[in-house]
């Protein structure tokens, strides 16, 4: 499979603090890649570099065979990079359905009429159909997390970036969400997923990347990665 | 299956009644000069023009997140263009209104270019600085009276398009005919403004603007072109504000840099109206302007106390009810006069049941 995303020697610093340190990796099309690492390892920064919300100081980011290092976020979204935010960022006064409409019309560049049915279908899959007409600001945490996923899906992404989407959910809620993500992945959507809830992550991803102090300290088969001594040291005290 | 089992609607019961009431009110408003006193016409003119300014400021700040305190730049510049046009080139003042709008639009391009580099409070201050620069520049314009200002030439006033027809039709003096004409123009401008904003918010771009209002970063992440939206909103607001400003001074008949570029009259009061009524809604400024007019009438004899009470009230609303008076009303009743919300409904009518099954 050709790589849909490829980072080459990408670095980013905030002042003296290097948060992304010469990061290089490829994601083959259709793969689900998990990213783990302690708090402050630079995981969300890595996402922001991929979506264009932050610009890299050094290095090159290629998406779908094109150099997108300097491409603004909006264009990257239009070309198929969708994301969810770690802390849900709902459009408080828009309803759940309207949120998806914005996302689908602008993320795909399509008129409203053409995407209405598809938005309804996404709401059904993400189990938000019952709250379709409720303002997004009134949703529960689980519903907000689902809405993050649904909103990203509405742009019809080829590459979906999920930032701690299972964080803060109960066990049961988590299982249901994982099922939805697994189904999305099964359709061929490439996924990069940052997650602290390891069992949720490893039940979906085929490959795992470990980040610490902005550096990749391991990438490969999830079982092998989790078995390595370095990773165990970093995660010492965290139940696997 | 999802396909075709849902339909999308924006209509609500209240909105259909509101549309009917609005139609009746509009007819009454058009017919108002046939039975109302001149002072009522003038009060209505004031309400309508302030409402127009408030709608545009609401579009800027409430939807676009562009908290400008320099809208007096466009009020003043537009008004001066109308006077300049009439004095220098003999442009009919009614046509001059359009000239004023275009002039304000042209002024908005460099203003935006400069101000969009600034954010938040700096943007606000930047727009104010621009307005002061324009005021000081216009005060150098000798042909329109420099720093002391000027009056609209008698010819332009009395021979203005439509005035003579009104004089003979209503059997009134020309000054009164001018009030009636400017009132009708203000009514047309207000209806066009509210209609235009309503139409815009129902489009795909309007939805994007509402998303930007709620969360800029998230809106960008789903492909909303925030820069372009800011430009559209700023230019449209400048155009409308310029026309409204020109109309205000056309009715006044006299202009000076201090009155035309007054930050209190054309920005502070306008912000008050929007904040009191409810920012980020079409209904808010309508409620706000009525409250503002009532307060102004009640407190007219109390001098500076009037401004202090206005300020205190504004702060109280911001602290205790950020959604304004309309926010309180619509939260309690679910009432929406301008339905812009797209509702997803099942064709078989099961939607309600599903909503109730969901945990709150």
Residue B174: the pLDDT is 85
B37's tokens = 């006193």
Asked if residues B218 and A51 have their Cβ atoms less than 8 Å apart, the reply is no
Q: Give ranges for CATH 3.40.50.300 in chain A.
A: 1-80+158-169+188-240
- Residues near B350 by Cβ (< 8 Å), separated by ≥ 6? none
Asked if residues B54 and B288 have their Cβ atoms less than 8 Å apart, the reply is yes
Contacts of A95 in chain B (CB under 8 A): 341-343
Q: What is the dihedral sign for C-alpha B111, A52, A197, A184?
A: positive
Of B4, B6, B358, the CB nearest to A131: B358
Indicate yes or no: CB of A97 within 8 angstroms of CB of B342: yes
Distance CA A179, CA A204 (A): 9
Indicate yes or no: CB of A94 within 8 angstroms of CB of B223: no
Q: What is the pLDDT of residues A194-231, one digit of tens each?
A: 998 888 898 999 999 999 888 998 899 988 888 888 78
Q: Which one-letter DSSP state was computed for residue A21?
A: E
Q: Which residues pair with A160 in a beta bridge?
A: A82, A191
Distance CA B265, CA A222 (A): 66
SS3 content of chain A, % helix, strand, coil (to 5): 40, 25, 35
By C-alpha distance, the chain A residue nearest B4 is A117
Distance CA B289, CA B52 (A): 10
B114's tokens = 């400069």
Contacts of A90 in chain B (CB under 8 A): 214-215, 218
Distance CA B30, CA A136 (A): 41
How much is the CA Rg of chain B, to the nearest whole Å? Answer: 22
Q: Which one-letter DSSP state was computed for residue A215?
A: E
Residue B206: the pLDDT is 93
Residue B1: the pLDDT is 43
Q: Which one-letter DSSP state was computed for residue B144?
A: G
Residue B164: the pLDDT is 87
Inform me whether the C-beta atom of residue B202 falls under 8 Å from chain A C-beta atoms: no
- Residues near B6 by Cβ (< 8 Å), separated by ≥ 6? A116, A117, A120, B344, B345, B346, B347
Residue B348: the pLDDT is 74
The count of other CB atoms within 10 Å of the CB of residue B157 is 17
| Cα A107-A109-A112 angle, rounded to 5 deg | 95
Inform me whether the C-beta atom of residue A78 falls under 8 Å from chain B C-beta atoms: yes
Inform me whether the C-beta atom of residue B353 falls under 8 Å from chain A C-beta atoms: no
Asked if residues A54 and A72 have their Cβ atoms less than 8 Å apart, the reply is no
Q: What per-residue string of b and e applies to B256-282 under the rule 16 or more CB within 10 Å gives b?
A: bbebbbbbebbbbbbbbbbbbbbbbbb
Name the minimum distance, in Å, from the CA of A155 to any CA of chain B.
Answer: 7
Give residues 99 to 128 of A whose Cβ lies within 8 Å of B: 99, 101-103, 105-109, 111-112, 116-117, 119-121, 123-124
- Domain A1-80+158-169+188-240 classification at class level: alpha beta
Distance CA A51, CA A29 (A): 17
Q: What are the CA-CA distances from residue B128 to residues B173, B247, B268, B272 (Å)?
A: 40, 22, 11, 17
Q: What is the dihedral sign for C-alpha B212, B217, B220, B222?
A: negative
Would you write out chain B's pLDDT as a tens digit for each of its 360 residues?
444 688 888 877 777 888 899 999 999 999 999 998 999 999 999 999 999 999 999 999 999 889 999 999 999 999 999 999 999 998 999 999 999 999 999 999 999 999 999 988 999 999 999 999 999 999 999 988 989 999 998 888 888 888 888 988 888 888 899 999 999 999 999 999 999 999 999 999 999 999 998 998 899 889 999 899 999 999 999 999 999 999 999 999 999 999 999 999 999 999 999 999 999 999 999 999 999 999 999 998 888 888 899 999 999 998 998 889 999 998 888 788 888 888 888 877 654 444 444 444
Burial of A175 (0-12, 13-18, 19+ CB in 10 A): middle
Place of tokens 């904003």: B197
- Residues near B16 by Cβ (< 8 Å), separated by ≥ 6? none
Inform me whether the C-beta atom of residue A205 falls under 8 Å from chain B C-beta atoms: no
Indicate yes or no: CB of A99 within 8 angstroms of CB of B211: yes
Phi/psi for A161 (5° steps) reads -105, 120
Distance CA B45, CA B41 (A): 6
Could you give the residue ranges of the DSSP H alpha helices within chain B? 13-31, 38-57, 72-89, 93-115, 121-138, 154-158, 163-170, 174-201, 204-214, 216-221, 226-252, 257-260, 263, 269-277, 283-298, 304-320, 324-333, 351-357
Would you write out chain A's pLDDT as a tens digit for each of its 240 residues?
789 999 999 999 998 899 999 999 999 999 999 999 888 889 999 999 999 989 999 999 999 999 999 998 888 999 999 999 989 999 998 999 999 999 999 999 899 999 999 999 999 989 999 999 999 999 999 899 999 999 999 999 999 999 999 988 888 889 988 999 999 999 999 999 999 888 889 899 999 999 988 899 889 998 888 888 878 777 655 544
For chains A and B, what is the number of CB pairs under 8 angstroms?
125
Place of tokens 């099964």: A186
A139: left (phi over 0), alpha (psi -120 to 50) or beta: beta
Residue B349: the pLDDT is 63
One-character DSSP codes across B111-125:
HHHHHTTS-THHHHH
Burial of B90 (0-12, 13-18, 19+ CB in 10 A): exposed
A24: left (phi over 0), alpha (psi -120 to 50) or beta: beta
Inform me whether the C-beta atom of residue A146 falls under 8 Å from chain B C-beta atoms: no
């Amino acid at each position: 499979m050709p790589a849909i995303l490829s980072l080459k020697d990408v670095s980013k610093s905030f002042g003296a603090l290097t948060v992304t340190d010469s990061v290089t990796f490829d994601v083959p099309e259709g793969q689900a890649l998990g990213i783990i690492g302690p708090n402050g390892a630079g995981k969300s920064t890595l996402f922001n570099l991929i979506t264009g919300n932050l610009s890299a100081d050094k290095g090159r980011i290629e998406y779908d065979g094109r150099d997108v290092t300097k491409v603004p976020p909006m264009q990257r979204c239009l070309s198929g990079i969708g994301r969810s935010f770690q802390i849900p960022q709902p459009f408080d006064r828009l309803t759940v359905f309207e949120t998806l409409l914005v996302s689908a019309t602008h993320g795909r560049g399509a008129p409203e009429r053409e995407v209405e049915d598809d938005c309804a279908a996404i709401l059904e899959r993400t189990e938000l159909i019952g709250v379709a007409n409720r303002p997004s600001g009134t949703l529960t945490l689980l519903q907000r997390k689902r809405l993050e996923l649904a909103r990203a899906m509405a742009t019809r992404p080829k590459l979906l970036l999920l930032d701690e989407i299972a964080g803060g959910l109960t066990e049961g809620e988590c299982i249901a969400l994982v099922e939805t993500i697994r189904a999305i992945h099964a359709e061929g959507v490439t996924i990069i997923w940052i997650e602290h809830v390891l069992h949720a992550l490893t039940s979906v991803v085929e490959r795992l990347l470990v980040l610490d102090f902005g550096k990749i300290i391991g990438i490969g088969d999830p079982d092998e990665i989790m078995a390595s001594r370095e990773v165990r040291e970093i995660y010492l005290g965290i139940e696997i | 299956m999802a396909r075709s089992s849902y339909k999308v609607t924006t209509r609500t019961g209240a909105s259909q009644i509101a549309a009917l009431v609005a139609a009746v009110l509009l007819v009454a408003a058009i017919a108002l000069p046939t039975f109302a006193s001149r002072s009522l016409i003038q009060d209505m003119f004031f309400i309508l023009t302030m409402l127009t300014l408030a709608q545009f400021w609401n579009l800027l700040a409430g939807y676009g997140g562009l908290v400008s305190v320099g809208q007096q730049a466009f009020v003043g510049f537009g008004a001066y263009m109308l006077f300049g046009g009439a004095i220098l080139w003999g442009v009919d003042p009614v046509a001059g209104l359009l000239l004023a709008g275009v002039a304000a639009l042209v002024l908005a391009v460099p203003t935006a270019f400069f101000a969009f580099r600034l954010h938040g409070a700096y943007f606000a201050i930047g727009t104010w600085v621009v307005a002061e620069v324009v005021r000081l520049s216009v005060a150098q314009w000798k042909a329109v009276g420099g720093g002391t200002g000027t009056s609209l030439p008698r010819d332009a006033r009395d021979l203005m398009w439509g005035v003579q027809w009104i004089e003979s039709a209503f059997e009134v003096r020309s000054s009164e005919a001018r009030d009636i004409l400017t009132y009708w123009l203000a009514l047309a401008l207000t209806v066009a403004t509210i209609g235009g904003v309503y139409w815009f918010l129902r489009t795909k771009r309007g939805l994007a603007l509402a998303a930007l209002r709620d969360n800029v970063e998230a809106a960008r992440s789903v492909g909303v072109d925030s820069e372009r939206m800011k430009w559209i909103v700023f230019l449209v607001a400048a155009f409308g504000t310029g026309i409204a400003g020109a109309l205000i001074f056309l009715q006044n008949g006299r202009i000076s840099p201090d009155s035309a570029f007054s930050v209190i009259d054309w920005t502070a009061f306008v912000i008050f109206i929007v904040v009191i009524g409810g920012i980020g809604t079409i209904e808010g400024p309508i409620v706000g302007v009525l409250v503002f007019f009532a307060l102004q009438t009640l407190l007219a004899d109390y001098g500076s106390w009037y401004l202090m009470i206005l300020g205190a009230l504004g702060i109280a609303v911001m602290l205790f009810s950020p959604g304004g008076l309309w926010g309180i009303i619509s939260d309690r009743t679910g009432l929406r006069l301008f339905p812009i919300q797209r509702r997803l409904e099942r064709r078989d009518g099961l939607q309600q049941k599903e909503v109730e099954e969901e945990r709150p």
